[in-house]
């Protein structure tokens, strides 16, 4: 590989502050903030608005829509006159 053309691939903490969910992984994302991780080392920090810790699909708080009612409403609205 050529030197100097690849981004810095390093450990980064992604943290969702709405639910205090954090994960340490590797990334090339650039950030100016840092955080001290559980192992005592300091890592770059990326703030998230939503993550698997706060998204309704992953937390089980997802609202189920009445799909049968929606289909009937569509059929009434766009059905052909007989």
DSSP readout, 9-55? Answer: -EEEEEEETTTTEEEEEEE----SEEEE-TTS-EEEEEEES--TTT-
Position 10 confidence tier, pLDDT thresholds 50, 70, 90: very high
The 10s digit of each residue's pLDDT in 66-79 is 666 777 788 888 88
Evaluate whether residue 35 is within a structural domain.
Answer: yes
Evaluate whether residue 3 is within a structural domain.
Answer: no
Task: Measure the CA–CA gap between 45 and 32, rounded to whole angstroms.
Answer: 8
The 10s digit of each residue's pLDDT in 29-41 is 999 999 999 999 9
Which among 16, 11, 55, 5 has a CA at the least distance from the CA of 31? 11
Evaluate whether residue 1 is within a structural domain.
Answer: no
Q: Is 13 exposed, middle or buried (0-12, 13-18, 19+ CB in 10 A)?
A: buried
Evaluate whether residue 2 is within a structural domain.
Answer: no
Evaluate whether residue 54 is within a structural domain.
Answer: yes
Task: Measure the CA–CA gap between 47 and 71, rounded to whole angstroms.
Answer: 40
Number of domains in the chain: 1
Evaluate whether residue 4 is within a structural domain.
Answer: no
- Print the domain residue range for 66: 10-78
């Amino acid at each position: 590989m050529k030197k100097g053309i690849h981004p810095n691939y390093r450990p980064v903490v992604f943290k969702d502050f709405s639910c205090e969910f954090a994960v340490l992984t590797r990334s090339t994302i650039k950030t100016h903030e840092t955080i001290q991780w559980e192992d005592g080392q300091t890592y770059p920090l990326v703030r998230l608005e939503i993550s698997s810790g706060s998204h309704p699909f992953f937390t089980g708080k997802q609202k189920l829509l009445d799909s049968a009612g929606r289909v009937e409403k569509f059929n009434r609205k766009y059905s052909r006159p007989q």
